Amino acid sequence: MEKSESIKNLATSMAQFRKNLLKAQPSKDGKSHYGNYVTLEDLTAAVDGALPESLGYTQEATSDPNGVSITTMLFDASGEYIIYNPLSMPVQRKDAQAFGSAETYARRYSLSAAFGVSASKDDDGQQATKAAPSKTQNGTKRPADRVTTDQMTELTKLFKQTSEVTNGSLANVQKYYLGQFNVSNISQLTKLQADEIITVVKRKLNGGNKK
């Protein structure tokens, strides 16, 4: 994450944004087989409608043969800014639909993370990462988009770091983040959900913010 030397004015603008947003929370009208979610259009409308005159944002999309990355920047009329780390979405099918789905997913989650707006429950990026089911060691099939062992290890480490920084219990930290996807165990997450939590937790730890 990059930011201006001071973000005092930007922080004041964000506080006003949060107050404004309470009056117009986005609805979860999008539907997928994972449940309802906030569409990019509804999220953008809610954010734009709650922005004070002093606050703005921009999103930049970049791509390579393997996926799409979205970088979100917040800026204040004073000239202060925060540039968040890119949120990257992989694609396994090399076609326009897959890249478009990945970009939409990344834009929504990068924007919702920057402004603290919940966009779950969601997986309309499934078209970008859809693949054949994989098998566990005992031969039973499991969803191909299920959280990986490496992701579970990283999440466990990040949750522990967050509990130490916030002086909170590890159980409460885990419950807070997993609860946003209505699951109680890391193993119940999808890859995309795990990536989102990893991105958000790292961003907060790097910025020195409490959860």
Q: Are residues 107 and 181 in the same domain?
A: no
Instruction: Give the per-residue pLDDT at 67.
Output: 87
Range of the domain at 170: 141-211
Domain boundary among 84, 100, 131: 131
Instruction: Give the per-residue pLDDT at 135.
Output: 46
Q: Are residues 31 and 123 in the same domain?
A: yes
Q: How many helices (H) and strands (E) does the chain have?
A: 7, 9
76 φ, ψ (degrees, to nearest 5):
-115, 155
pTM over 0.85: no
Instruction: Give the per-residue pLDDT at 28.
Output: 55
Cα end-to-end distance, the chain, whole Å: 16
Domain boundary among 111, 131, 151: 131
Q: Are residues 31 and 108 in the same domain?
A: yes
Query: Are 113 and 200 spatial neighbours (Cβ–Cβ below 8 Å)?
Result: yes
Q: Are residues 111 and 37 in the same domain?
A: yes
Q: Are residues 66 and 103 in the same domain?
A: yes
Q: Are residues 112 and 146 in the same domain?
A: no
The rounded distance, in Å, linking the Cα atoms of 44 and 32 is 19
The rounded distance, in Å, linking the Cα atoms of 59 and 126 is 22
Instruction: Give the per-residue pLDDT at 26.
Output: 63
Instruction: Give the per-residue pLDDT at 208.
Output: 47
Instruction: Give the per-residue pLDDT at 128.
Output: 47
Q: Are residues 106 and 183 in the same domain?
A: no
Instruction: Give the per-residue pLDDT at 35.
Output: 44
As for how many domains the chain has, the answer is 2
Per-residue pLDDT tens, the chain, 211 aa: give them: 899 999 999 999 999 999 998 876 665 554 443 445 678 888 898 999 999 999 999 999 998 888 899 999 999 999 999 999 998 888 877 778 888 888 988 898 899 889 988 755 544 455 444 444 444 444 444 455 788 888 888 888 898 888 888 887 888 888 888 887 877 888 888 888 888 899 888 888 886 444 4
Q: Are residues 93 and 15 in the same domain?
A: yes
Q: For residue range 188-211, list pLDDT tens digits in order.
A: 888 888 888 998 888 888 864 444
Q: Are residues 43 and 145 in the same domain?
A: no
Q: Are residues 35 and 124 in the same domain?
A: yes
Domain membership flag for residue 136: no
Instruction: Give the per-residue pLDDT at 84.
Output: 93
Instruction: Give the per-residue pLDDT at 62.
Output: 92
Residue 8's alpha-carbon distances to 3, 12, 79, 105, 207, in angstroms, are: 11, 6, 11, 31, 14
Q: Are residues 122 and 148 in the same domain?
A: no
Token code pair at residue 209: 């913010």
